[in-house]
Structure 1
């Protein structure tokens, strides 16, 4: 070999060794978006932790795509659970030339951001539950959990047929998630022969519900459905207890956190219900092992949808391997037809990006913990 070429090759090899890469490595950027600041940061950090865990595992195993070794890199953005920031973050991730989007967490950010990703041809895997997400016709949109149409149906039916509720009132926070789930719940109650006495509104920043609750107390509700997050639901139940209201709270997956029980002050949280899109994690084949390694690494329990974000990273990697390409335009078709067994269940998608066979689990707070009641 020419001495000059030999010297250049040696320099290249030395650089590769010092950087931790091989000459064959291809860096694949995965975009991540969730709320990492504000009242919903605990959800977002849980999602980020799980996604990072998956990336680290894949890089440690060594993933080959089309004969080349790839190194995954997570590009993280904080959307603040704000629809306006959702589109800003989406454009930043597109400009960063990511190959996939893992997120967002909220329906309010996922829906507007999904158009940005669709226009760029980048697959998006989200836990957003508002049905509108998959009704836009975007080929790049994939939902990892069941949507609010089924979640609301399960909750409404349970309120009427199992709890035998007669006086039902609804409060929602006017977000795409809270309002959407409340509307589905209300429709399900009526479909099952129940009646909604009142429907009131608040915001996802509220902490004082005294005016709403004082107004609702006269209706003597036995069930109060809350469409929103734990940071609002917890003070809501504390203030209900202070007013002597004994109604059961029902809500969606964002209530199903240890933070809700802690913020509600223990006893006031007892006996309230939530429904979560997905089967109980510890009942899945890889669920208990995931919980164990997650806690060992981060010294905390899973908050909510972190396991789905973990599975989403693996889903993308698997689709890329099947397509022999990391290019979104080429592996998108493989993602549409994939059957992948993750820690939260087996993932397969309908033509519109909805998951097939998506269960819903109803939980009740008993003894200071969310306990499984039934799986639908």
Structure 2
């Protein structure tokens, strides 16, 4: 009996060792502004990624015949290029297999060479074209870039809103200047747009709003983040301006409307480079999971959710969590974004056929406007 007991104990031990050997831990980094004026965007990104991680772990997702246990490593880049590089180094040191981030274009561009040097794939929602034009094999973009988004904004301003005069304002950030350049180049109105820059810390927004009102323009396009965009919008509305206020995806979120404190209640239009959950039936499942954990998702929660799934699929197809092994698969493969649909990347690392959606603020909500596309 003792002999049989020893055999049984040994078999159990071997089975346990085998089970341990059949599991692989996958660490994926998420990096965005988690503090400061843009923290809500960073939290939305982290939350969307966490929903994907929890879903993958519950599904017993396998890579190379081993059950994968996914872990999220979250870093705060404070929307700063220097902080972004420091955060990138921490993620590299933490041994992540891939990174989803950064949010701000200037931060993504600054950090991208570090990930490239380490051979770690970086999947970003930053829209400045330069990000994927630095010749880095590790840089991928999950959204349409500023060229595509700019074209949509131009059509909105010219053909749908029928603006005859325009003020173009940027906040001097890489993203803000880039998207404002695209709009200014493409809009081609009878009277050339007036182009000016603002600074969230030093601009007298009341005086600046006065200049715009004196110009009596039909529309104002602002390129940049909420730190300068919201004070400008509030100053304009306080001064009595009813000009159409048009912005890109850094100010197209429910948190933006909340921060606007009623100033975005009318004539407020924005774009998001990405597909909303309502377009595919699988988006309903995402909404249910997200609401159960975090409440209503932000515009970027869907993108990080899809991004994590795409990275996991590339690892599964390659049969490895090693970046050098699954990176070529990520570059050339076709993946199923549960919300974005079929995903492929071109030779630069840009998403093929990126979608841009227009929203309008109506009744305190951002409502999709397919008739304006």
**TM-score, normalised on structure 1?**
0.91
Deviation at 1:177, TM superposition (A): 1.0
**In 2, distance between residues paired with 1:205 and 1:149?**
28
Quote the residue 2:91 is aligned against: 93
Partner Cα separation in structure 1 for residue 203 and residue 296 of structure 2: 26
After superposition, residues 323-338 of structure 1 pair within 5 angstroms as 323-338=318-333
| Structure 2 unaligned regions, length at least 5 | none
After the TM superposition, which residues 59-208 of structure 1 pair with which residues of structure 2 at under 5 Å, given as runs?
A: 59-190=57-188, 193-204=189-200
Q: Compared with structure 1, are the counterparts of its residues 215 and 369 closer, same or farther at alpha carbon in structure 2 (3 Å cutoff)? A: same
Alignment of 1:37-52 (within 5 A): 37-52=35-50
Instruction: Tell me the distance in 1 between the aligned counterparts of 2:8 and 2:34.
Output: 49
- The question of whether the paired residues in 2 share the 8 Å contact of 1:122 and 1:140 is answered with yes
**Structure 1 residues 330 and 205: CA distance shift in structure 2, 3 A:** farther
Matches within 5 A, 1:232-271: 232-266=228-262, 268-271=264-267
Alignment gaps of 5+ in structure 1: none
Where do 4+ consecutive residues of structure 1 move more than 6 Å? 3-14
TM-superposed deviation, 1:212:
1.7
For these two proteins, the number of residue pairs brought into alignment is 368
Q: Does 1:301 align with 2:299?
A: no
- Give me the whole-angstrom Cα distance separating, in 2, the residues matched to 1:5 and 1:204: 73
Aligned counterpart, 2:220: 224
Q: How far apart are residue 184 of structure 1 and its match? A: 0.7
Show the 5 A alignment for 1:277-288: 277-288=273-284
Alpha-carbon distance in 2 for matches of 1:40, 1:224: 22
Distance 1:204 1:303 in 2: 23
Deviation at 1:270, TM superposition (A): 1.4
Q: Does 1:311 align with 2:306?
A: yes
Which residue pairs with 2:354 in the alignment?
358
Q: CA deviation at 1:7?
A: 8.6
Change (3 A) 1:211 1:90: same
Instruction: Call closer, same or farther: CA 1:307–1:243 in 2, change over 3 Å.
Output: same
SS in structure 2 of the partner of residue 53 of structure 1: helix
Q: How much has 1:326 moved relative to structure 2? A: 0.9
Deviation, 1:302, is 1.0
3-state SS of paired residue (1:22): helix
The question of whether the paired residues in 2 share the 8 Å contact of 1:99 and 1:326 is answered with yes
CA contact (8 A) 1:118 1:139 kept: yes
Q: Aligned-residue CA RMSD in angstroms?
A: 2.5
Query: Once the 2 structures are TM-superposed, how far is the Cα of residue 169 of structure 1 from its aligned partner?
Result: 0.6
Shift of 1:144: 0.4
- Check whether the contact 1:46–1:302 (CA below 8 A) recurs between aligned residues: yes
Q: Structure 2: how far apart are the matches of 1:157 and 1:353?
A: 26
Q: What's the offset of the Cα at 1:74?
A: 1.0
Question: How far 1:34 sits from its partner (Å)?
Answer: 0.7
**Counterpart position of 1:57:** 55
- Asked if the contact 1:46/1:306 (under 8 Å) is kept, the reply is yes
Question: What TM-score do you get using the length of structure 2 for normalisation?
Answer: 0.92
Q: What secondary structure is seen at the aligned counterpart in 1 of 2:329?
A: helix
Determine if the alignment matches structure 1 residue 373 to structure 2 residue 335: no
**Counterpart-to-counterpart distance in 1, 2:351 and 2:190:** 29
Once the two structures are TM-superposed, the CA of residue 362 in structure 1 deviates from its matched residue by: 1.1
